[in-house]
Chains A and B, each alone.
Chain A
């Protein structure tokens, strides 16, 4: 009995927080846009009983999804989001791994402090931190003033409102999500394994490549997912730091929803985004599992 409850809890969680909202979105994506409140039809009329339900299903169609394929704007936005999310994830990994490594190699009494320093920025609102980057990166901002003062540059750099600013924002915001899982795996790493590798003739560098990196793979994967997934649908950072040329699916979704008042197409965009995310992750998980089983 206890076991059943233990299994049921995560499923109930999944049902309430993922499946139900997702089904509502799917339902809207199959409706037609209308000048009404809320702005789509058909709406499920439960008061009309079975006839209402039947009527509802008769009116459903997939035209919002076919519409997405008719306009290349959506595909370009999906691809551009994928590109930005991928590059950001790689950058975050390149910066986050050394930080996590340094933290794990630090004296044990220092580690809680270092950990604290990584988490500390979260004590400030995310929005305020992004706004402060606007202050740093803008034409008359802190960075440009400093570089001009030191004489490194003679003309202010245009960073704000470009894709570079978006990368800075995403990498900065999601860095702790990369550092923490990698640090967790590195901290647990058995140092004697590296000593053994070195005793057997590995140089320090190759011991790092052959032992440390493979053993920290779970942390790397977790970190990459934690950065990649939210970055793909990111809306706030590109709209505040990015220029008008930064095409991201989150912004397209916003426009469908708010500017076109077309909730059905907006929902269709969201459903496709979710499929783009879920299918590779499921395939990846399955592959990992197979490898693990084969490893046994």
Chain B
């Protein structure tokens, strides 16, 4: 049997070498890479790169659980990664094919250990926080000069939210992000609490501000912020910073800033993994190794304004990335960031029900 497998592998390798058009299918978050890197990868390795994007973990998870997605590299967030590993969706990494693993940053690896013990299945791509994207001028015009721009109370306090409603507030359509934030605002001890009491409290907080939220969506807020259609978004750090850049480019007078709430914020990690049924795991490893190259990773972060888990890349980062405390938080802020664990089936159902009720204003 072993010889047969060996033979097949050898034939396949030969076949791959002969057939020039080797392909790797990568499924990543939208607006999450410098597209020049994709061309660079193709030029350096001769592998055809098919790049496809998604904007919700749920969508990716469904594809992983259904199987046969046809992707070689996917990028779930830590909590989702953990559950998908348990469901048997990924194959262990062959670390001998990943020499650039030495570039990775131990501070981040320590935090992702819980999702993927021993880092058997995934490498960190980028990480970030969930906080507030604010159109400063408009918010100050409504709430006054002393508006609490860097506090969750800016939108979680119904009094503030009501005043900002006409100007527009958007929130991530992701209860795994909004519920911990609501608990943090309510002063709950553990934002990762999944008990019925905690969920009831979170629902109360979220329902109170529901009438003032224009839309729950996980990517539309980038354009809405940049165009000045909304005043505040509860969203992901890098996405808000992308919006800030787009507004600056358009020169439309919209000035945006990203704030990590002082009460504490969720820290999340997007991890690259290889599906168990990936058509081309070899090319997938080549892609992971390419991404872990210090200069490539730096190029990606410089482009999308998210921090990465690559220590070696830091010397190549632009000053407005490595020097920005909203992207690479200082020690004090870092200590204030929390991580969360996955929901099990029962609490997940309770969470979805809560979220549907919150969103439909019931």
Contacts and interface: CB of A to CB of B under 8 A. Distances in A.
Interface of A: 33, 35-39, 71, 73, 138-140, 161, 243-247, 252, 255-262
B229 A37 contact: no
Given A37-B89, A256-B352, 12 more contacts: A36-B65, A36-B87, A37-B67, A73-B353, A140-B228, A243-B215, A244-B215, A244-B359, A244-B360, A245-B359, A245-B361, A262-B349
B270 to A, nearest CB: 18
Interface string B319-358: 0000000000000000000000000010011001101110
Contact of B216 (A37, A140, A244, A259): A244
Interface in B53-73: 56, 58-59, 61-62, 64-67
Contacts, number: 73
Contacts of A35: 83, 86-87, 345
Contact of A39 (B56, B87, B352): B87
B89 A261 contact: no
Nearest to A262: B349
Given A37-B67, A244-B361, A260 B87 contact: no
Interface string B57-100: 01101101111000000000000000100111100000000000
Interface residues of B, number: 36
A255 B67 contact: no
A38 B65 contact: yes
Given A38-B67, A244-B213, A244-B360, A258 B62 contact: yes
Contact of A261 (B67, B348, B357): B348
B118 to A, nearest CB: 20
A140 B227 CA distance: 9
A39 B360 contact: no
B190 interface: no
Contacts of A243: 214-215
B168 interface: yes
Interface in B149-165: none
A36 B356 CA distance: 25
Nearest to B358: A244
A102 to B, nearest CB: 38
Closest 3 CB pairs between A and B?
A244-B359, A258-B58, A39-B65
Given A38-B67, A71-B353, A261 B360 contact: no
B88 A261 contact: no
Nearest to A244: B359
B62 A161 contact: no
A255 B356 contact: yes
Nearest to A134: B220
